[in-house]
Amino acid sequence: MRCDVVAIGTELLLGQIVDTNSSWIGEQLAAAGIDSLVQVKVGDNLGRMVHILRERLSEADAVVVCGGLGPTHDDLTREAIAEVMGADLVEDEEVAERIISMFSARGRRMSANNMKQALVPTGASVIAQTRGTAPGLICPVGDKVLYAVPGVPHEMQDMLTRAIIPDLLARSGSSAMIMSRVLRTWGESESGLNERLQGIIDDLDVVGNPTLAFLASGWEGIKVRLTAKAATEDDAWRLISEWERPIRSEVSDVIFGVDEQTMESVVLDLLAERGLTLGVAESVTGGLVAGRLTSVAGSSKVFRGGIVSYASAVKHDLLGVPAGPAVSHDAAAAMARGARHVLGSDVGLALTGVAGPTEQDGQPVGTLYISVAMPDDTVNTHHLRLPGQRDQMRQLSVISALDVLRRTLSN
C-alpha cells in the first residue's frame, strides 16, 4: 500500500507557513508500514489542485490531502476532489447540524459561508469533526482513495489517527506490526554517529529488517531510530532488542534517553531520584533553560526557579559574580554558586556566553561556559564552542547545559 501526501495552500509556497503537517503524516504512515514516496505542495488554484491529485492517484494507491477545507473562497479542496471523482457536492445535513451546534455552544454568530464545510462529494464518507468545524472526507476514486483533512494540525492529527490510518490498514489487508525504538543522543555529530555505527549499518543492510535511521532534531538532540516489522508486536520488539544492544555498546556514551524522553525530563528524573532541588542562572539563554524545564509536568517538585541575569550588573549584585569579564570560567562558577544561594537549591546550574552577532569580553561568537555547583560545594565548569547563528547557538546552549548537568548527576 502506497499513500502519497498533498499539502494545499498558497501560503505554504510563499513560505508564510512551514509545512510541518506533511512530515508528521509521513512519519505516521511509515510507522504503520505504509509507503509514502511523494509529498507535494500546491497553491489554492482549482486547476492545479485537480492536476496534482490526478497525477498522485496515477502512481499511488491513496492520497492524503491536507488543508483547503475551510469556509472561505480560497478553500477549494472539496471542489477539486469532487471534480476528480466526477461527483456533485451535496450538503450533508448531519454535518451542517454539527457546525451550527458548535457555533451555538460557543455563543458565537455563524456566518453563512460556514455551511460550505458541510458540502460532501457524492459517494464520499465523512470523518466526523471533533475539534473544529471542518469534517474530513474519505473519497473513493475507482479502486483508489483520496482522504481530505483540515490543515489545522491538531484537527488533522486526530482524523489521521482515528480514521485514516485504520482505513488504510484495512484496505491494505496487512497484519504486520511496525514498532520503533528511538535512542536520543547528544554530544556526537550525525556524521560521527554514522561512522561509529557503520559496521552495524552494513549488517542491517544485509538482513533488511530492522532498519536504522538518523534524525537531527536541533536542541532535541540527534535521534537514532530502529524500526522493525514482524507478524506480532512481541516479535518486532525482539528484533529491536537484538539490534539495540550492539548499538548501545558502540554509542552508549552519548545516549541520554529513549522514545519520548527529553533531556529535561531525564535531568528532572535524576534530580528527583537523588532527592535534589535545582536552581538556574542564565545569561546567554535568557530563560530558555527554565522554560524547557517547566514544560515538564511535575517539574516544580525539584525545580526551584531561575534567574535571568542578562545584564552584568545583575550578575554582580544578585549572584555575587566578582568584577571582571561576564563571559568567563570564573563568572560561570560564581553564577552557579549564586543560583544555589539565592534560590535555596541543592544544585546550581549556570550559563554565560556569546550568542552574537559580535564578540564579547574578548570571546568569539559561539563561546559558552556552563557551570554546575553541587551540594558539597564542588563546582564543575565546562567551556564549549557552539556553531550557528544567534538563535541556534542559544538553543544548542540549552541542551548542552542540561547534558552537562545530566552527566554530573550520573557520576
pLDDT digits (tens, 9 = 90+) for 134-143: 899 999 999 9
Complete domains list, the chain, with CATH: 3-172 (3.40.980.10), 177-258 (3.30.70.2860), 263-410 (3.90.950.20)
177 pLDDT exceeds 80? no
Question: pTM for the full model?
Answer: 0.76
47 pLDDT exceeds 90? yes
Which residue type does 54 have?
Answer: R
Q: pLDDT (tens digit, 9 = 90+) per residue, 50-86?
A: 999 999 999 999 999 999 998 888 899 999 999 999 9
Q: pLDDT (tens digit, 9 = 90+) per residue, 307-323?
A: 999 999 999 999 999 99
Out of 31-40, 255-264, 365-374, pick the least confident. Answer: 31-40
112 band by pLDDT with thresholds 50, 70 and 90: confident
What pLDDT was estimated at residue 102? Answer: 77
Q: pLDDT (tens digit, 9 = 90+) per residue, 344-393?
A: 999 999 999 999 999 988 899 999 999 999 999 999 999 999 998 999 99
More confident residue, 308 or 232: 308
259 pLDDT exceeds 90? yes
Could you write out the three-class secondary structure of the chain? CEEEEEEECHHHHCCCCCCHHHHHHHHHHHHCCCECCCEEEECCCHHHHHHHHHHHHHHCCEEEEECCCCCCCCCCHHHHHHHHHCCCEEECHHHHHHHHHHHHHCCCCCCHHHHHHHEEECCCEEECCCCCCCCEEEEEECCEEEEEECCCHHHHHHHHHHHHHHHHHHHHCCCCEEEEEEEEECCCCHHHHHHHCHHHHHHHHHHCCCEEEEEECHHHCEEEEEEEEECCHHHHHHHHHHHHHHHHHHHHHHEEEECCCCHHHHHHHHHHHCCCCEEEEECCCCCHHHHHHHCCCCHHHCEEEEEECCCHHHHHHHHCCCCCCCCCHHHHHHHHHHHHHHHCCCEEEEEEECCCCCCECCECCCEEEEEEECCCCCEEEEEEECCCCHHHHHHHHHHHHHHHHHHHHHC
Average pLDDT over residues 21-40: 90
Percent of the chain exceeding pLDDT 70 equals 100
175 band by pLDDT with thresholds 50, 70 and 90: low
More confident residue, 96 or 174: 96
Average pLDDT over residues 221-246: 93
Average pLDDT over residues 116-126: 93
Out of 98-102, 288-292, 340-344, pick the least confident. Answer: 98-102
